[in-house]
Amino acid sequence: MGSIVEEADSSQPHVLLFPFMSKGHTIPLLHFARLLLRRHVTLTLITTPANRPFISHSLRHHPAAAVIDIPFPTDVPGIPAGVESTDQLPSMSLFSKFAAATARMQPHLERVLATLPLPRVSLMVSDGFLWWTLQSASKFDIPRLVYYGMSCHANALTREAFVSGVFSGPQHRDELVPLTRFPWIRVCKNDFPPEFSDSDPTSLAAQFHTDVVTSAVKSFGTLVNSFYELEPVFVDYLSQNSTPHAYYCVGPLCLAEEEIDTRNLQEAFPKKASWIEWLDKKHEESRTCGVVYVAFGSQAEISHEQLKEIAYGLEESQVPFLWVIRRKEWESQLPEGFEERVGDKGMIVRDWVDQREILNHEGVKGFVSHCGWNSVLEAVCAGVPILAMPMMAEQYLNARMVEEEMKVGMRVETCDGSVRGFVRREGVRKKVRELMMVEGEKGEEVRRKVGEVAEMAKKAVEDGGSSWRTLENLLVETCKKKKT
Ligand code: UDP
Per-residue confidence (pLDDT) for residue 2, from 0 to 100: 41
**Cβ(365)–Cβ(291) under 8 Å?**
yes
**28 CA closest ligand 1 atom index:** 15
Residues carrying CATH 3.40.50.2000, the chain: 4-256+461-483, 273-457
Contacts of 423 (CB under 8 A, 6+ apart): 306, 309, 310, 313, 389, 412, 413, 414, 415
The residue whose CB lies within 8 Å of the most ligand 1 atoms, and thus the one to mutate among 31, 325, 357, 375, is 375
Distance 23 CA to ligand 1 centre (A): 6
CA angle, 354 then 356 then 362, to 5°:
110
Per-residue confidence (pLDDT) for residue 270, from 0 to 100: 74
Distance 370 CA to ligand 1 centre (A): 10
**314-333: pLDDT as tens digits:** 999 999 999 999 887 888 89
Contacts of 51 (CB under 8 A, 6+ apart): 21, 26, 69, 84, 85
Query: How far apart, in whole angstroms, are the C-alpha atoms of residue 350 and residue 331?
Result: 8
Q: Which residues of the chain have pLDDT under 70?
A: 1-11, 199, 258-269, 287-288, 481-484
Q: Is the CB of 372 under 6 A from ligand 1?
A: yes
| Mean residue pLDDT across the chain | 92
Q: Is the CB of 27 under 6 A from ligand 1?
A: yes
Q: Is the CB of 86 under 6 A from ligand 1?
A: no
**393 CA closest ligand 1 atom index:** 25
Q: Is the CB of 373 under 6 A from ligand 1?
A: yes
* CATH architecture of structural domain 273-457: 3-Layer(aba) Sandwich (3.40)
Q: Is the CB of 298 under 6 A from ligand 1?
A: yes
Q: Is the CB of 112 under 6 A from ligand 1?
A: no
Query: How far apart, in whole angstroms, are the C-alpha atoms of residue 452 and residue 299?
Result: 30
Q: Is the CB of 297 under 6 A from ligand 1?
A: yes
Query: How far apart, in whole angstroms, are the C-alpha atoms of residue 463 and residue 461?
Result: 7
Instruction: Name the nearest CA neighbour of 154 among 196, 200, 214.
Output: 196
Q: Is the CB of 380 under 6 A from ligand 1?
A: no
Distance 228 CA to ligand 1 centre (A): 23
How many residues make up the chain in this entry? 484
Query: How far apart, in whole angstroms, are the C-alpha atoms of residue 181 and residue 82?
Result: 45
Distance 24 CA to ligand 1 centre (A): 5
Q: Going edge to edge, which strands form the sheet with 386-388?
A: 346-349, 321-324, 291-295, 364-369, 386-388, 409-411
**Cβ(464)–Cβ(458) under 8 Å?**
no
* CATH architecture of structural domain 4-256+461-483: 3-Layer(aba) Sandwich (3.40)
Distance 375 CA to ligand 1 centre (A): 6
**354 CA closest ligand 1 atom index:** 7
Q: Is the CB of 376 under 6 A from ligand 1?
A: no
**Cβ(85)–Cβ(51) under 8 Å?**
yes
Per-residue confidence (pLDDT) for residue 211, from 0 to 100: 94
